[in-house]
Amino acid sequence: MDSVFSQLCVLGSSLALITGLILLWRRGVTAYISAFTWQSRAITVVTVVVAYFGPDHELYWVAGALFILKGVVIPRLLKQMERRFAAERELDPYVNTATSLVISGLLVLFGYAITRPLVALSHLPTRAGMPLAMGLVLVSLFVIISRKKALTQVIGFLMLENGLALLAVLGTYGIPLIVELGVFLDVLMGFLVMQIFIYQIHETFESIDVEQLSNLRH
Amino acid sequence: MIGYALEVAQAALALLLAPGLVGLIRWMKARLQNRRGAPVLQPYWELRKLFRKEVIVSNNASWLFRATPFIVFASAVAVTFLVPILAVPLPFDGIGDLLVVVYLLLLGTFFLSLAGLDPGSPFGGMGASREMTVAALAEPTVALAIFALALSAGSTNLGQIVARTMTNPGAALSPGHLLAFGALFIVTLAETGRLPIDNPATHLELTMIHEAMVLEYSGRYLALIEWAAAVKLLIFFSLLGNLFVPWGVSMALTPATLAIAVASLLAKLVILAGVVAVLETRIAKLRLFRVPELLSVSFVLALLAVTSSFLLR
């Protein structure tokens, strides 16, 4: 039973990581949003699996909240924003695609290296997925620093949060429900604030390219 | 003794089935696109026609051009002896492991690009340079993806990898296997000239790779090269089918298990052909500059597969 449990967890976390890598390959905000949506769904599934095998009934609520917030609400808001900035769909990252893929591969290796002591300490059947979650965190950090458009940086931030949520679920079977809800609220608020920022940036600079922020206007 | 007979039978089966596999993919694709499509057996008729036709060779071509079809075909046939298509373990397992398989396939590709350069036609040169770009990125990925399996099986021997996965079925769902499958699938499309990388349906298009290299060939030479390309497709499909989902491969050399092995091989080939046909109907060819990016995706997948099977052992 435990082996099925750990296999499923590792499978789900690999899927989450792969969607992060696919995002690096794809171009266009629409593809980014769909990759993020699929990633959130994969993490929801992992949470449900942990809730079932844990067994920890609070996690069902967490999974439900996660799905509604990151699988439905935020993607919809992102799509709205994307429609507004339709003219700026082409993305040109600081680092080209092939290099960023190789770098993210190395980052995942690094994630494996730094979670080794954690995995060695843990006795949970979910521990094998933890390096993958850490890899996802590192890859999303890389997405944030290597992309130019503010919107894609926001998606990178949301992926980072996804990675952290995954790490929490796999490492500790989830944090208490009240804390989890606080985190969700935080994410939503952070996202809304960033949305306002992006609209303001767009208003002032007529572009959401963050490179433009270093230029003087007026 | 029966092992050697089986080796020969396996290679003969691969050679016989290969054109049919190509025909099957074409037919499925045509049906999916609402066309009637040529019959599945069409590639056999094409081969027969080509074998009867006269060979025209450019005046500028050297012996290399004439030798290449035989080298390409022979390397493909040699690989069919080494890959677990029907049964494991086989007597030739000791002759070649996955490295031999990978580099025998590369040998064919290498000579094909040399032959593309040889007659000095601009198309051939373009095709050869593109093929080398793709091969240089795809070849290490093939090796790395199979290495991921070799690591969990503890042997680079393809037969042993299959046997080990059969005794330990849970391993087939491990992330190492799944990532390696993804990597090898992308590379299969690249190596066999399928759609996102190369378009097998066109003959005169500036972006073609395989067809550009073999443009100067005619008659039986062309037949040998096309047949070898079909065999290569079958080899990659049976690697995908038998290394990752080994069930059905015969472990004992009895008629009943061998019958099951043939049936399961056919089923796997039909399923993979269906997947490729659907994929080719749904997607367009990538721009040439995007091809290295797709291949680096598969390289990263293979790298992660090796890492996870190494660290989660």
pLDDT at B289: 79
Distance, CA of B171 to CA of B165 (rounded, Å): 6
pLDDT at B111: 92
pLDDT at B28: 92
Mean pLDDT of chain A: 82
pLDDT at B44: 93
Predicted TM-score of the model (pTM): 0.83
Contact assessment for residue B55 and residue B117, using Cβ atoms and an 8 Å cutoff: no
* B182 neighbourhood in chain A, CB within 8 Å: 18
Q: Tell if the CB–CB gap between A128 and B178 is shorter than 8 Å.
A: no
Do the interacting molecules here have an ipTM over 0.90? no
Q: Which of A80-94, A136-150, A192-206, B113-127 has the lowest mean pLDDT?
A: A80-94
CA distance A136 to chain B (A): 12
Could you tell me which of A58, A23, A34, A43 has the C-alpha nearest to residue A139? A23
pLDDT, tens digit (0-9, with 9 covering 90-100), for B137-152: 888 888 888 888 888 8
Distance, CA of A166 to CA of A163 (rounded, Å): 5
pLDDT at B177: 82
Question: Percent of chain A, pLDDT > 70?
Answer: 94
pLDDT at A90: 55
Nearest neighbour of B170 by CB, restricted to A3, A97, A105: A3
* Phi-psi group of A105: left, alpha or beta (phi > 0 → left; psi -120 to 50 → alpha; rest → beta): alpha
Distance, CA of B284 to CA of B196 (rounded, Å): 6
With CA atoms as reference, the chain B residue closest to A7 would be B174
Q: Tell if the CB–CB gap between B297 and A21 is shorter than 8 Å.
A: yes
CA distance B178 to chain A (A): 9
Give residue B45's identity as a one-letter amino acid code: W
Averages of pLDDT over each 10 residues, chain B, 313 residues? 82 91 91 88 92 87 90 92 82 80 89 88 85 87 86 82 79 78 88 79 71 84 92 91 82 81 90 91 82 85 83 63
* Domains in chain A, number: 1
Q: Tell if the CB–CB gap between A105 and B300 is shorter than 8 Å.
A: yes
The domain of A82 spans 2-214
CB atoms within 10 A of CB B42: 16
The model's confidence at residue A217, banded by pLDDT at 50, 70 and 90, is low
| Nearest-10 crossing angle of helices B219-244, B98-117 | 150
Nearest neighbour of B303 by CB, restricted to A18, A22, A105: A105
Give residue A105's identity as a one-letter amino acid code: G
* B310 neighbourhood in chain A, CB within 8 Å: none
The model's confidence at residue A137, banded by pLDDT at 50, 70 and 90, is very high
| Nearest-10 crossing angle of helices A2-25, A150-172 | 170
pLDDT at B230: 92
Nearest neighbour of B296 by CB, restricted to A17, A102, A128: A102
With CA atoms as reference, the chain A residue closest to B171 would be A7
Per the DSSP assignment, residues forming a β-bridge with B87 are B250
